[in-house]
Structure 1
Amino acid sequence: MIGRLDWDRDGADWPNRQASRFMRAAGLRWHVQEAGRGPNILLLHGTGAATHSWRALLGLLATHGRVLAPDLPGHGFTDVPQPGRMSLPAMSHLLGGLLDRLEFTPDVVVGHSAGAAIAARMCLDGLIRPRALFSLNGALMPIAGHASLVFPAAARVLAQTRVVPWIFSLHASNRDLVSRMLGNTGSRLDDAELVHYRRLLRNPGHVSAALQMMAHWDLAALAADLPRLDVPVTLVVGSNDRMIPPGDADKLRAILPQARKVTLDGLGHLAHEEQPATVAAVIAAFLADLRAPQAVVVA
């Protein structure tokens, strides 16, 4: 088995460690973080990240509701599923098993990048029925052009080559390289955020899981089903996102008439880490309406 992260060693200074716990569900041992009380808010991070991605946002949202943030299967400190269970539908059902085990029914789902795709798939498959879905630079549309064929095929080759994650993890020891990689997202992160990305990318087990996820991803099937999505969607878009074209949000609004778009000027793909208070304010506005007492109409 490819080496995995160790909680005692690699998680000693993990963001929001006091909110962390481990539990078994759907055949996996999961790392989850939970904080706050009120409406249930589910946070789903993107490919290659983990709960550290919510370092500041988790606490901000916990003042408005009960927040649950898991490490996705194979990511961070959560177990790797059996082979073939890193596809979008399979990961969605694994998460559904986790929510059932926790008896956690999301009122609001916040998904970043691939996390937004998982959230949408869970809604479409009847695993959850939230009152709102917030897509933070969501990866909901297929990659355009020739890359849509080349990228998954390349990921499959790399995922099947056991030495690749080890080689990548060795290169990730170079701080400047990781800094440039994250800079290519269009976001500017501080050193405290870089530390945890470097830790994840230096771990061959985490890298292998991210490659497996990319190798089995099928956004074309999701896009074909999106017109059936009947959950109110807010597309939060960083105008400087270099990973997901900001113009994808306009294409999505043509598919999802109920969707609204919120543009964050100057922010990149990791906008929720650059300016967590700005992103929290967008979500909190909806949560305030959710918590407000309903007017009683007297006949």
Structure 2
Amino acid sequence: MGIRPNKQTTSLLSANVEVQGLHGRILWADGSPAPGAQTEPAYVLIHGIGVSHRYLARLHAVLAAKAPTYSIDLPGFGGTPKPDHQLSAEEYGAFIAGALSQSGVDDYILVGHSMGVQFAIEAALCAPERSQHLVLMGPVVDSRHKNLPRQSLALFLDSLLRESPSSNWIVITDYLRCGPRWYATELPVMMKYPTEKRLSLVDIPVLILRGSRDHVAGPEWSLRLSRAVPQGRLVEIPGVGHVAQHMRPKTVADAIRSFVAATSRHN
């Protein structure tokens, strides 16, 4: 597919993608190979509910310095058109796999954050022959927070006590752009998704990554997920909360690269 980039968005080039009537966006750094031109497995960054590529931008920049890296703005988020019906995690996963295939990105490492973990799992299950590794940052929904009040409290405490003003600003402004209606439409999908059960079907190396002070994805939950697959590993980023990739992008990128290097098929 020939990619015609749009004007830069937060220092990233972007192209619109459409898969089965759903509209999203793929983004890459200026100077990086355009989608379809990479010669090695690419990192693909997937945001969570309500937000966009913007809170992954620091991690994107660090990863892109050494490897092809793409971010995706999913349908209904980041200013993309809202679908006319509630989308399941499976539908989002199919959109990701379809958008990457359409864009010529054939081998990749999926990196999801928060609800993006659910989307990444489904994308890996949708295209197992193309998914080389799976990185799940701040995975939801922790078994301690299986009802909405507990999950909301965990997110509130994390934002209040653990995150920086810059990360909170990005998240809040993205929430406003998403709008309460679409956020509320997709929230039940997030809460009901059987993360552990679906992850157990994945047959590639999986890295579970959490901030050591994350109220949302706790240590016991994260450890359990890392043990749900044969090739699972847990890494904690010291001193940060749920949005670890914004607070410590280099440390997170180093952990991801080390994991990929240690578990690649040629090793």
Partner of 2:171: 197
In structure 1, the partner of 2:4 is: none
RMSD between superposed Cα atoms in Å: 3.2
Match of 1:177 in 2: none
Distance 1:59 1:70, change over 3 A: same
Query: What one-letter code is carried by the residue in structure 2 that aligns with 1:49?
Result: V
Kept in 1: contact 2:23–2:74 (CA 8 A): no
Contact 1:39 1:291 in 2 (8 A): no
Q: What is the correspondence of 1:269-284 to structure 2 with a 5 Å cutoff?
A: 269-284=242-257
TM-score normalised over the length of structure 1: 0.72
CA-CA distance at 1:73 after TM superposition: 1.7
Alpha-carbon deviations, 1:43-80, whole Å to 9, x = none?
00111210101221111111221111111221112222
* Corresponding residue pairs, total: 251
Q: Whose strand fraction is larger, Structure 1's or Structure 2's?
A: 2
Rounded Cα–Cα distance in structure 2 between residues aligned with 1:81 and 1:285: 38
1:258 and 2:252 matched: no
Rounded to whole Å, the distance in 2 between the matches of 1:185 and 1:49 is: 18
* SS class of match (1:135): strand
**For 1:151, which of 148, 151, 154 is the aligned residue?**
148
Which 5+ residue runs of structure 2 have no aligned equivalent?
1-6, 34-39
Paired residue secondary structure (1:97): helix
- Inter-CA distance 229–23: structure 2 relative to 1 (3 Å threshold): closer
The change in CA–CA distance for 1:23 and 1:283 in structure 2 (over 3 A counts) is same
| 1:271, distance to aligned residue in structure 2 (A) | 0.4
Q: Deviations over 1:105-163 (max 9, x none)?
A: 24211111111111112222346642211111122x5644xx63x539x99xxxxxxxx
Take 2:25 and 2:142, find their aligned partners in 1: how far apart are those partners? 29
Choose which of 7, 13, 27 in structure 2 pairs with 1:33. 27
Paired residues of 2:138 and 2:214 also in contact (CA < 8 A): yes
Residues 236-247 of structure 1 correspond to what in structure 2 (within 5 A)? 236-247=209-220
Q: 1:182 to 1:273 in 2, by over 3 A?
A: farther
Q: Which moved more, 1:72-81 or 1:278-287?
A: 278-287
Secondary structure, in 3 states, of the residue corresponding to 1:33?
strand
**Per-residue Cα deviation, 1:87-121 (whole angstroms, up to 9, x for no partner):** 11121112222122212124211111111111112
Give, in whole Å, the separation in 2 of the partners of 1:107 and 1:114.
19
